Structures are given as C-alpha cells and as structure tokens.
Amino acid sequence: MLVDDAVALVPSIPGRRAVLGLAGAPAAGKSTLARRLVSGVDARLGADTAAYVPMDGFHLSNAQLDRLGLRGRKGAPETFDVDGYVHLLRRLRDAPPERPVYVPDFDRRLEEPVAAGLVVLPQVRLVVTEGNYLADDGPGWEQVRALLDELWYVDTPRQVRERRLLRRHVRGGRSESEARAFIAASERPNARRVERGRDRANRIVVPGRQL
C-alpha cells in the first residue's frame, strides 16, 4: 500500500527530513493523495510526523500574471516562482529543523497564493510535496528532481481530469464555455508537458487502487 511505502521513507534518510514528491497532470488527484498520505503516516507514527507542501503555493499572483501578460496561461511552468519553490525544498530537506517553516498555500476560491498558509513543524520527518512540474526538466524545474528522495507520478485518465477541471473552473467563476476554452488553451497543453516527465518517476500511481 502507498501509506506503507510512505511510512518506510521516514526512517530511511538519517540526519534530515525525507521528501516525497507527487507529480501529475492538472486535476490528477495529487493534492488529495498527498493529504491522505500525510494523514496515514501521522496515524501510524504520531501527529506531525509528516507535512503537506503544495507547489501551487508558488503560483505567481494574478497581479504579477497581468504584469507579465500571462494571465491566460495560468498554470504553465512560467507562471510559478520556481526559484522560490526550489529554495524551500532545500531548506526543508537540509536545514536543521530548529524552528517552524512557514510555507505558502493556494486558495482556489480566490485563485491566489496565500503566504504562510501552511507550516512544517520542527518534528516533521517526512514532507509530501505535490505539483504538476516536479518531473519537468525545463529551466529551474530541472533542480527539483534531485531534491526528492522519491517521485511518484499520479496517472489519471484525461476524461476524468478534464471533468474535474471543468467543475473547478465553473466553481471559480468561469462560465462553462469559458472553462472549456481555458482547458483547451492552457490546461491541456500543460498536461502534455507534464506527461513528458512520467518516466522520471520512481513509480506510477493510479488513484483509488493502491492507497
């Protein structure tokens, strides 16, 4: 089971935290799986053994996207602060765990990052991080893979993902036609790019079958 394998990572990295990454296309179920793994590890080994750190907290704000002319490409690799994400991974992985580390979250209702929305406490021994581009080899992103002790690719059929994306964007305020247009223009190309990194993962995970 996936929780068993996540638990096994905890004592396997002496002297520092272990970092497990979950990659996959938009709406593959990465955040749901990450939270379930954190809950499962904590249930086995005690509260605050694991912590959840989403890459989505490093979305550029809508104001910055507007400044850069990238609002219509939101979710593409260039719409994230990859250097900030890499710096955080290094800090969580290698720095002595003496104080809490506050990390950004992402509010899907606001469609904006939220500073210090989450915290990694000093006693945390496993960080579960997830995002589209953890297996990407583009500028900046190519540093991420080496900072992950394991990388799992969450593989969900396109039809399922796009149904989820449609619901997500409609709830976020787009009309159905606007949501479909955004999926075709942005989400689908992003998914194709994500899929190119599939072979860099240690394992392929099909949600619902292995937890």
Query: Could you report the per-residue pLDDT of 80-117, keeping only the tens digit for each?
Result: 999 999 999 999 998 888 899 999 999 988 889 999 99
Classify residue 90 by its DSSP letter: H
Asked if the model's pLDDT at residue 75 lies above 70, the reply is yes
Distance of CA 42 to the CA centre of its chain: 19
8 Å CB contact between 180 and 166: yes
Measure the CA–CA gap between 159 and 178, rounded to whole angstroms: 18
For 9, phi and psi rounded to 5 degrees? -70, -25
Asked if the model's pLDDT at residue 209 lies above 90, the reply is no
Residue 211's pLDDT band (cuts 50, 70, 90)? low
Model pTM?
0.94
- Residues sharing a CB contact under 8 Å with residue 208, sequence separation 6 or more, in sequence order: none
Q: How many of the other CB atoms lie within 10 Å of CB of 139?
A: 10
Domains of the chain from N-terminus onward:
2-205 (3.40.50.300)
| Bridge partner list, 28 | none
Per-chain mean pLDDT for the chain: 94
